[in-house]
């Protein structure tokens, strides 16, 4: 208990030091910088601005209120991290949920680690620290990786070293950004998982992607079911020898692909010279037949 009181008192003392214009610390070489940088300091909430590089965009209101209740009872357990940008003015690097919840809880100050960093360093720190969190959705993580590539020019190998993730893991997240935006939103909102997304990404046609996505949601398909559906769709795309009377002139590949994606089966389309034709939908079992029948009745 005594130790905790001393730490809190120290933080308040350093906070007073930072509010003294004669001790305005702007770089690590300034007098007194060693007492501030890396220490926990009580900062006024009004002196902290939100980080424009923050990768998180979704904040669950119920979750924030629960955190605010916890903060009222126990205080802020884990300090936020900020960088000093001007006299008594700081920019958040990480900890936006704690900052928001502290405001809801009615706090005036919050414990913070103070860093001195330029914009690039701030971006890297914000992205790397947020990637490590468990409550970011897969698309937010993927966008964070993409920003490190686009804005900091980090390679996947360099990112692997910075965030402690395998290069293949990073690549899997980045591939999610190739999904149709509707499906990306579905992952962010929790309608489907990253596993579903990784299965769908093997289909290049976005119309076929969304058709399968809608099927996953409406039928509550598992990842394994989705993988089987994608496999069936891809089997239907394999080139076949075309004999007389089986010409498909006038039918676009996109149209045939969408039919195959809808039924999740290797659909056969035949068109005669006079323009008439037929669609054959094979099934593998009684269960598969019932699945197709349910689609037709939907």
Q: Which two tokens stand for residue 298?
A: 């939907």
Helical segments of 153-297, H only: 156-163, 167-175, 181-188, 194-200, 206-219, 223-236, 253-263, 286-297
Given 44, 49, 73, 96, which residue is catalytic?
A: 96
Q: What sign does the CA torsion over 114, 97, 133, 168 have?
A: negative
User: What number of other Cβ atoms are within 10 A of residue 158's Cβ?
Assistant: 14
Helix%, strand%, coil% for the chain, nearest 5: 55, 10, 35
Would you call 96 a catalytic residue per the annotation?
A: yes
Angle CA 70–55–66, to nearest 5: 15
Q: Give the catalytic positions in this structure.
A: 96
């Amino acid at each position: 208990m005594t130790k905790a009181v001393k730490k809190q008192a120290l933080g308040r003392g350093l906070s007073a030091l930072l509010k003294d214009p004669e001790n305005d610390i702007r770089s690590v070489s300034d007098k007194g910088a060693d007492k501030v940088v890396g220490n926990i300091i009580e900062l006024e909430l009004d002196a902290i601005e939100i980080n424009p590089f923050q990768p998180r965009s979704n904040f669950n209101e119920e979750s924030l209120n629960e955190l605010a209740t916890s903060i009222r009872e126990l205080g802020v357990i884990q300090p936020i991290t900020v960088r000093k940008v001007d006299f008594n003015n700081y920019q958040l690097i990480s900890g936006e949920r704690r900052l928001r919840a502290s405001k809801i809880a009615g706090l005036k100050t919050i414990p913070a680690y103070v860093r001195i960093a330029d914009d690039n360093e701030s971006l890297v720190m914000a992205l790397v620290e947020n990637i490590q969190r468990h409550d970011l959705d897969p698309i937010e993580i993927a966008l964070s990786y993409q920003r490190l590539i686009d804005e900091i020019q980090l390679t996947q190998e360099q990112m692997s070293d910075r965030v402690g993730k395998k290069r293949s893991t990073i690549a899997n997240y980045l591939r999610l950004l190739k999904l149709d935006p509707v499906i990306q939103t579905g992952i962010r909102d929790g309608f489907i998982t990253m596993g579903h997304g990784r299965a769908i990404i093997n289909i290049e046609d976005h119309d076929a992607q969304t058709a399968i996505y809608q099927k996953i949601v409406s039928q509550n398909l598992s990842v394994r079911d989705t993988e089987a559906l994608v496999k069936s769709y891809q089997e239907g795309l394999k080139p076949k020898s075309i004999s007389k009377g089986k010409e498909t002139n006038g039918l676009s590949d996109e149209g045939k692909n969408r039919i195959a994606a809808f039924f999740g089966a290797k659909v056969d389309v035949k068109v005669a010279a006079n323009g008439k034709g037929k669609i054959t939908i094979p099934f593998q079992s009684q269960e598969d037949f019932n699945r197709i029948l349910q689609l037709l009745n939907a």
